[in-house]
Amino acid sequence: HQNKQVCVIKNLPIWNQKSIGSCVGQAGAKYRQKQEEIETKKVINFSPRFLYALSKCFDNYPAEGTYPRLMMKLAQKYGCATEETVINDSGLSHEEYVFNRDITKIPEKAFKEAEKYKIKSFAAVGLTADELKQAICQASGCILLVRLGKEWWTDIGGAHSWRAEDLLPVRPPAQIISGHEVYLYGYQQVNS
């Protein structure tokens, strides 16, 4: 007999960031999308590109990627535009995607639209399984930065290995070289 605990929030459309390091914008737009769906019962396609490009105008970070807390502060201050005003074209080069890090190149009408869709608040949550579950079920999900280590990028025997014995058990990386932002909005736990 299995005791099954589930918290699944209605599935949202899946986006693909392709090769652009815009995961922070993707997660932020998904978070705002879920808030809007809860408040109005409408699923709006918010623009991950708007949030990411806006963040790149302020982060002073020369590479791809940006800071999650900065993106959330900007989503609170400016809001989030939809894909109608800022198309999420992941086929662009990184610099084209972020409007060459120039806030004046982001369409003015996007800022006017974004005013209607500000994130009201955000908070840090703990990283225990129970704290994450609580955030998922009580706060319309949560955004989580996953630190990636050199181990995930190192070839094993000349080729990337996805064999369980090469990846598991999951271990803290010896050297953090990157990160990936994800939006968690459901979970399933099965206890035997």
Task: Locate all alpha helices (DSSP H) within the chain, ordered by sequence.
Answer: 23-40, 48-56, 68-77, 94-97, 108-114, 129-138, 164-167
| Residue-wise pLDDT tens digits, 64-100 | 999 999 999 999 999 999 999 999 998 999 999 999 9
- Of the chain, the percentage scoring pLDDT greater than 70 comes to 78
How distant is the alpha carbon of residue 41 from its chain centre? 21
The pLDDT of residue 128 is 80
Quote the tokens at residue 132: 């994450």
Cβ-Cβ contacts under 8 Å for 178 (sequence gap 6 or more): 65, 147, 148, 153
Instruction: Give the dihedral of Cα atoms 125, 8, 149, 89; nearest 10 deg.
Output: -100
Higher pLDDT residue, 13 or 68? Answer: 68
The pLDDT of residue 134 is 84
pLDDT at 38 over 80: yes
Residue type, 171: R
pTM, two decimals, is: 0.78
- Of the chain, the percentage scoring pLDDT greater than 90 comes to 40
